[in-house]
Chains A and B, each alone.
Chain A
Amino acid sequence: MALSTSSNFAKPDDAFRAVVEAHRGLTEAQSADLDAALVLVLANHIGDIDVLREAIALAKRRMLEASQQQQQQQQQ
C-alpha cells in the first residue's frame, strides 16, 4: 500500500481543527510531548512501515523546503 495523499476526510477542517484544539492551552514543551505520542499512536494505527517511511519522507521534504523558502524570503 502506498501513502495516500488524496483528501480522506469528508470534512478536512474538522480534522485540522481537532489537532489544533488538542494543543490549545498547552506549553510548547507539552505540545511537543503530545505530538510525540500522537505520532506514535497514528503510526501504529497505520501499521505499515513502508507507508510510515513515505510519510516521514514527505513531511521532512516539505518542512525543509518550506523553511528554506522562508529563509530566502527573509534575505530578499
Chain B
Amino acid sequence: MAQANNQFGYLRHPDQDRVAANAAEYPVVVVGAGPVGLSLAIDLAQRGQAVVLLDDADRIGEGSRAICFSKRSLEYWDRLGVGDRMVEKGVVWSVGKIFHGASQLYQFNLLPEDGHKRPAFINLQQFYAEAYLVDRVRELPAIDLRWRNKVVALESRNDGVALTIETPEGAYRIRASFVIACDGARSSLRKMVGAEFSGQVFEDQFLIADVKMTAAFPTERWFWFDPPFHAGRSALLHKQPDDVWRIDLQLHPDADPVHERKPENVRPRIARMLGHDKFEFEWISLYKFQCRRMDKFIHGRVIFAGDAAHQVSPFGARGANSGLEDAENLSWKLDCVLRGTSPESLLESYHIERSAAADENIRESTRSTDFMAPNSRQEARLRQAVLALAKETEFGKRMVNGGRLSVPSVYDTPLSTPDGDAWCGGPRPGASMPDAPIAGRSGNPQFLTEAFIGAGTGFTLLEFGNGAAVDAPDGVNTIRIGGDDGFADATGLVGKRYDAEPGTAYLLRPDGYIAARFRRPTQPLLEAALARATGFN
C-alpha cells in the first residue's frame, strides 16, 4: 500500500519524570494528530503559542480515508505554509457528472470563474495531507508533538484541565489552561467529559474500494444512480494521486459486511464497473454512518473540534473540511484569550458559529443520503420523478442530489457588525472572503488571499483607495487596493467581488471572514467593529 513517511518514534519527555503534584503546565494541549489537530497546532504556533500535541498512535493512519479537500481548506493550508505541497501532489478538479443508468444526466462546475488562486477541490489521500502537516509541525519549535501519548483521564478545573497520559513507559500528568479535543469520531475525551453524541444512524452500507490502475477517465467526480454495473444502487468514481481511484458503492442494507468486503467478492463488482479487471486493491472499507453532533462544543476548558464534535455522511466532503474550518475558527480566538486581549467569552462564538455550520453540514449530507437511499416507497417514487424530469428540465437536474459539496458557511454571529450601508453584492459580515487577482506595484500578479497572508496573522482592513488612507485601529493590518501605493485591481474583479466603491473598507477577521464593512469607514466605526469582533459587546 502506498504510504507517505509515516512511522514516528515514541520519545520519553522530561515531563514524565515529574511527580503528579508538580506536573508541567501548558497553555494549550491538543489531543489527536489528525488533519484537524495538526492544523490547529500549526496555526496556534504561528500565532506564537506553545502547543503540546498528543497522539495515541505512533504513525499516520492507513488507507486514503478523507480524499476531497476544498478550496477553503487549501486557502487555510496556504496560511499554514503547506498549501503548495498539497496542491502539487493533489489531483485538481472542479467538474462533476451525474449519470442515471447508462446515460449522463448533467454536469456541474464547482468553480466556474477564473481569478482564484486555489481550485474548487483537490483529491489527496489523507495520509499525504497528514504527512505534510507533520513535516510542517517539525519546522515549528513551539509545537511539542508526542506520539504514543494516550489521554486516559481528565479532571476539569475552573482554570484548566489536568490530564493523565499513558505511554509505553507508564503514565504521567500534565496540566493545561485549555485542552482541544481533536481525537476523532470515537473521541475518548468526549466520553471523559460525559457529553451526549446522538443523531441519526443510516442503515445503508457503503463499500469504499481504492483501486490502482491506469485509466483514461477524466479527473472529474462521476456519480451514478442505478448504473448498469450496479443495478438499483448508487456508485461514485473519483481520481486520487498515484493512479489510485476511489470507488464508492452503495450496498443493500442487509448485505453481510464480512462477505462483502472480501477482495474476491469486491473484484467482480468493480470489474463490471470498469469493464476490465486490470487493477489492484489499495484499500477496502465497508461503512455505515451517522449524522450527529455534540450539543455543546465547549465543556469548561475542554473544546471539541472536527469529528470529535460532529459527524456527517461522507457525501459532500464535509467531514475533514468542516474540521479544518473548526481549526481556523478556533485558533485565533484561543490565541486572543490566552494573550488576555479578549475575554474568555469570545470562545463561545466558536460554538455558535461552528455548531451552526455542523447543523448545516448535517442537513446537507442527510439530504444527499436520503436521496441516494430513499426511506420509503413514496420517497423512492419522488426520487424517480426527479431523475425522470432531469432528462429534459433544468429544475429537475438541479434537484438531483448526488452530494452537495462543501462550501464555507456564512455565520450569523455576535462578532459581526450588521451592515449599515447599502450593498448590492460582496460578502456580507459572517461570510468568508472571496479570492481575486491583484497586482503589486511592479505589476507582479498575485492573489488577494496571498496579500491577506502577507499582511499578517491578525485582523486586516481591506481598503479601496480614495485619497488618504483611513487610520486603521492599532494592531490591525491593512491591504490597500488602488491609490498610489496600493495593489492594482487590473481585472476589476476585486472591486466586483467586493461591490467596492472608492472608500469602501472590509474588516477581515484573522480567519478570513468578514467582521464588518463600510462605505465610509471612520475610526470610531472601525474601533467599534473590532471590539465587537474580539468579544467585547
Interface residues of A (CB under 8 A from B): 32-33, 36-37, 39-41, 44
Contacts and interface: CB of A to CB of B under 8 A. Distances in A.
A44 B396 CA distance: 9
Contacts of A32: 378, 381
Contacts of A37: 385, 388-389
A50 to B, nearest CB: 18
A44 B395 contact: yes
Contacts of B200: none
Interface of B: 378, 381-382, 384-386, 388-389, 393, 395-396, 399
Nearest to B396: A40
Chain B binding site: helix, strand, loop or mixed by DSSP?
helix
A33 B385 contact: yes
B381 A40 contact: no
A41 B385 CA distance: 10
Nearest to A41: B389
B381 A36 contact: yes
A37 B399 CA distance: 12
A32 to B, nearest CB: 6
Given A40-B396, A40-B399, A44-B395, A33 B389 contact: no
Contacts of B388: 37
Contacts of B382: 36, 39-40
Choose among A32, A36, A41 the residue with the greatest number of B CB atoms under 10 Å from its CB: A36
A17 B489 CA distance: 61
B395 A36 contact: no
B386 to A, nearest CB: 6
A40 B384 contact: no
A41 B382 CA distance: 11
A67 B212 CA distance: 58
A46 B70 CA distance: 34
A39 B382 CA distance: 9
A60 B420 CA distance: 42
Nearest to B386: A40
Contacts of A33: 381, 384-385
Choose among B385, B395, B399 the residue with the greatest number of A CB atoms under 10 Å from its CB: B385
Given A37-B385, A37-B389, A40-B386, 18 more contacts: A32-B381, A33-B381, A33-B384, A36-B378, A36-B381, A36-B382, A36-B384, A36-B385, A37-B388, A39-B382, A39-B385, A40-B385, A40-B389, A40-B396, A41-B389, A41-B393, A44-B393, A44-B395
A32 B384 CA distance: 11
A37 B389 CA distance: 7
Nearest to A44: B395
8 contacts: A32-B378, A36-B382, A36-B385, A37-B388, A40-B385, A40-B386, A40-B389, A41-B393
Contacts of A44: 393, 395
Contacts of B386: 40
B391 to A, nearest CB: 11
Nearest to A38: B385
Contacts of A40: 382, 385-386, 389, 396, 399
Nearest to B383: A36
**Closest 8 interchain pairs by CB?**
A37-B385, A36-B385, A44-B395, A36-B381, A36-B382, A40-B385, A32-B381, A33-B381
A36 B378 CA distance: 8
Nearest to B398: A44
A39 B385 CA distance: 9
Contacts of B399: 40
